[in-house]
């Protein structure tokens, strides 16, 4: 008879699995698929499914980056391994897992970068070029904002508010004058002639004449005056005196 006190738990678990595998099927008409065949079928199904492949690749990349960062010492703290014994884990597997975790922690601690938490890292100053570029962007944004505000104000001022029920009987009159316009009235003939006479530059000056010409003009004026006076005397005489 088998002594259960001297047999290890692994041996008992292995014997139970063998009994379960070797036992006959419950239903003779239905035969279960073997474990290896089920694993092969599951692997083929995962290979056909692109989502699962992408998921596995992503998980592998994340794990690789994490390991690489840990090796370079980028990570802040080393993760504390789990020393708790798992369910149905044998003594040998438990000890082997602890040794692997300890070796991994030692490797990370040796390759970790030197850290000085007391010394605060100096804040990085932005270069002058980046600061100038940022200032230019802010100036342009502020200028665009001011232009938009001015356009909006101009549109509000030019908008004509019409009250409800208001009727326009005639077109609007322009009361504002342009800046370059000059008020010019429509003069009549009298004001035009008077303006021409009163304006000093409008009267044309006679050209300079010679002395002989002036003497001839004076004699002619005197002759015309004498003839005019004689004509007036003749008109003033009564009819019987002739």
Q: Burial of 203 by CB count in 10 Å (0-12 exposed, 13-18 middle, 19+ buried)?
A: exposed
Lowest mean pLDDT: which of 42-56, 127-141, 191-205?
191-205
Q: Are 55 and 64 in contact (CB under 8 A)?
A: no
Question: Torsion angle, CA of 216/221/223/228, rounded to 10 degrees?
Answer: 170
Q: Highest mean pLDDT: which of 12-21, 36-45, 149-158?
A: 149-158
Instruction: Say if residue 113's pLDDT is above 70.
Output: no
Confidence of residue 224 (pLDDT cuts 50, 70, 90): very high
Distance of CA 152 to the CA centre of its chain: 20
- Residue keyed to tokens 């000059």: 182
Instruction: Say if residue 183's pLDDT is above 90.
Output: no
Confidence of residue 237 (pLDDT cuts 50, 70, 90): confident
The predicted model gives 73-89 an average pLDDT of 70
Mark out the alpha helices in the chain (DSSP H runs): 9-22, 35-48, 50-72, 91-111, 128-158, 189-198, 211-236
Instruction: Say if residue 228's pLDDT is above 70.
Output: yes
Confidence of residue 4 (pLDDT cuts 50, 70, 90): very low
Rounded CA-CA distance 112/68 in Å is 11
């Amino acid at each position: 008879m088998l002594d259960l006190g001297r047999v290890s738990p692994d041996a008992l678990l292995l014997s139970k699995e063998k009994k379960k595998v070797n036992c006959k099927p419950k239903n003779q008409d239905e035969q279960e698929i073997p474990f290896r065949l089920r694993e092969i079928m599951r692997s083929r199904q995962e290979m056909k499914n692109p989502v699962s492949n992408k998921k596995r690749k992503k998980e592998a990349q994340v794990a690789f980056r994490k390991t690489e960062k840990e090796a370079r010492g980028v990570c802040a703290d080393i993760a504390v391994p789990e020393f708790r014994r798992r369910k149905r884990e044998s003594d040998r597997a438990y000890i082997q897992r602890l040794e692997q975790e300890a070796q991994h922690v030692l490797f990370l601690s040796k390759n970790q970068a030197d850290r000085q938490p007391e010394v605060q890292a100096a804040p990085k100053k932005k270069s002058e070029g980046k600061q100038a570029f940022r200032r230019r962007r802010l100036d342009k944004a502020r200028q665009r904002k001011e232009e938009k505000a001015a356009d909006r104000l101009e549109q509000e001022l030019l908008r004509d508010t019409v009250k409800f029920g208001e009727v326009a009987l005639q077109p609007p009159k322009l009361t504002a004058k342009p800046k370059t316009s000059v008020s010019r009235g429509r003069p009549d003939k009298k004001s035009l002639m008077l303006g021409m006479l009163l304006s000093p530059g409008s009267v044309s000056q006679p050209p300079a004449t010679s002395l002989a010409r002036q003497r001839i003009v004076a004699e002619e004026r005197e002759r015309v005056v004498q003839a005019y006076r004689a004509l007036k005397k003749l008109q003033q005489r009564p009819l019987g005196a002739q």
